[in-house]
Amino acid sequence: MKSKTRNRFIIVAAVLLLAAYFLYPTFKFSMMSEAEKEKLKIENQKEYFELKSKTINLGLDLQGGMHVVLEVDVKELLKRLAKNVDDVFTTTLLETEKRVEKSDEDFLAVFDELLQEKGGNITRYYYSPDHRTRDEVLKYLRKQIDESVDRALEILRNRVDEFGVSEPTIQKVGDRRIIVELAGVTDPTRVRKLIGRTALLEFRLLEDNMVSSRVAEKINNFIQSKINPYDTTAASVEQQDTTGAKDEAISLDKMFAADSEQKKTEAVAQQDSNAYLFEEGLFFLNPRDKQTFLVPTDKQFKFQKILQMPEVQRIIAEEATGAEFLWGSKPVYNGQYIPLYLVRKNIELSGESITDANPQRSHDPSSFGQYEVSLTLNDAGARTFARVTGANVGKRLAIVLDNKVYLAPEIRVKITNGRAVITGLDNIEEAQDLSIVLKAGALPAPVKFMEERTVGPSLGQDSINAGTFSAFMGLVIVMIFMIIYYKLSGLIADLALVLNIVFIMAVMAYFHATLTLPGIAGIILTIGMAVDANVLIFERVREELEKGKTIRASIDVGYGKAFITIVDANVTTFIAALVLYTYGSGPIQGFALTLMIGILSSLFTAIVVTRVIFDYVLETRPVKRLSI
- Model pLDDT for residues 447-462, shown as the tens digit of each residue: 888 888 887 766 667 7
Instruction: Using the predicted structure, report yes or no on whether residue 152 has a pLDDT greater than 50.
Output: yes
Give how far Cα 169 sits from Cα of 165, 238, 411, 571, Å: 10, 55, 44, 28
pLDDT tens digits for 319-338? 998 899 999 988 988 889 99
Residues 173-185 have a mean pLDDT of 84
pLDDT tens digits for 242-251? 433 433 333 3
Sheet bearing 419-425, strands edge to edge = 354-361, 371-377, 419-425
- For residue 367, name the pLDDT band (cuts at 50, 70, 90): low
Task: Specify whether the CB–CB gap between 159 and 151 falls below 8 A.
Answer: no
Residues 252 and 360: their CA atoms lie apart, in Å, by 32
Residues 168 and 282: their CA atoms lie apart, in Å, by 46
Considering the chain, what percentage of its residues have pLDDT values greater than 70?
89
Residues 329 and 445: their CA atoms lie apart, in Å, by 20
Residues 172 and 157: their CA atoms lie apart, in Å, by 11
Of 431, 455, 479, at which residue does a domain stop? 455
Inside any domain, residue 290: yes
Residue 542 main-chain phi, psi, to 5 deg: -60, -45
User: For the residues of 6-44, what is the DSSP string, one character each?
Assistant: HHHHHHHHHHHHHHHHHHHHHHHHHHS-HHHHHHHHHH-
Q: Exposed, middle or buried: residue 156 (CB in 10 Å: 0-12, 13-18, 19+)?
A: buried
Judge if 313 and 357 occupy the same domain: yes
Inside any domain, residue 626: no
- For residue 203, name the pLDDT band (cuts at 50, 70, 90): very high
Domain count, the chain: 3
Of 415, 442, 469, at which residue does a domain stop? 442
Judge if 101 and 163 occupy the same domain: yes
- For residue 343, name the pLDDT band (cuts at 50, 70, 90): very high
Quickly count: other Cβ atoms within 10 Å of residue 79's Cβ.
Answer: 15
pLDDT of amino acid 4: 80
Inside any domain, residue 352: yes
Judge if 342 and 376 occupy the same domain: yes
Inside any domain, residue 627: no
Residue 68 main-chain phi, psi, to 5 deg: -130, 135
Judge if 392 and 358 occupy the same domain: yes
Instruction: Using the predicted structure, report yes or no on whether residue 413 has a pLDDT greater than 70.
Output: yes
Q: Which domain holds residue 103?
A: 65-198+449-455
Inside any domain, residue 244: no
Give how far Cα 151 sits from Cα of 121, 156, 408, 442, Å: 28, 9, 30, 9
| Helix, coil or strand: residue 217 | helix
Number of residues in the chain: 628
* DSSP H helix total and E strand total for the chain: 21, 17
Instruction: Using the predicted structure, report yes or no on whether residue 256 has a pLDDT greater than 70.
Output: no
Report the relative pairing of strands 371-377 and 419-425 from DSSP bridges. antiparallel
Judge if 362 and 400 occupy the same domain: yes
Least confident of 36-50, 141-155, 272-286: 272-286
Judge if 597 and 534 occupy the same domain: yes
Inside any domain, residue 382: yes
Provide long-range contacts, Cβ within 8 A and 24+ apart, for 284-289. Answer: 284/216, 284/237, 284/238, 284/240, 284/242, 284/255, 284/256, 285/212, 285/213, 285/216, 285/237, 285/238, 286/245, 286/339, 287/238, 287/242, 287/245, 287/246, 288/245, 288/246, 289/209, 289/396
Q: What global pTM score does this model have?
A: 0.63
Judge if 477 and 418 occupy the same domain: no
pLDDT tens digits for 76-95? 999 989 988 888 898 999 99
Inside any domain, residue 232: no
Of 455, 482, 511, at which residue does a domain stop? 455
pLDDT tens digits for 599-628? 999 999 988 999 999 888 888 877 778 787
pLDDT of amino acid 458: 63
Name the average pLDDT for the chain: 83
* SS percent in the chain: helix, strand, coil, step 5: 60, 15, 25
pLDDT of amino acid 457: 63
Task: State the SS3 of 554-614.
Answer: HHHHHHHHHHHHHHHHHHHHHHHHHHHHHHCCCHHHHHHHHHHHHHHHHHHHHHHHHHHHH
Judge if 287 and 182 occupy the same domain: no
Judge if 54 and 75 occupy the same domain: no
Inside any domain, residue 413: yes
Residues 4 and 106: their CA atoms lie apart, in Å, by 63
Residues 465 and 62: their CA atoms lie apart, in Å, by 9
| Residues sharing a CB contact under 8 Å with residue 517, sequence separation 6 or more, in sequence order | 59, 61, 62, 463, 467, 587, 590
pLDDT of amino acid 308: 87
Read off the CATH number of the domain in which 529 is found: 1.20.1640.10
Read off the CATH number of the domain in which 208 is found: 3.30.1360.200
Q: Exposed, middle or buried: residue 367 (CB in 10 Å: 0-12, 13-18, 19+)?
A: middle
Instruction: Using the predicted structure, report yes or no on whether residue 268 has a pLDDT greater than 60.
Output: no
Least confident of 34-43, 257-266, 391-400, 532-541: 257-266
Quickly count: other Cβ atoms within 10 Å of residue 258's Cβ.
Answer: 10
Judge if 402 and 494 occupy the same domain: no
Judge if 37 and 174 occupy the same domain: no
Residue 411 main-chain phi, psi, to 5 deg: -80, 115
Residue 561 main-chain phi, psi, to 5 deg: -70, -35
Judge if 415 and 286 occupy the same domain: yes
Read off the CATH number of the domain in which 77 is found: 3.30.70.3400
Residues 325 and 612: their CA atoms lie apart, in Å, by 80
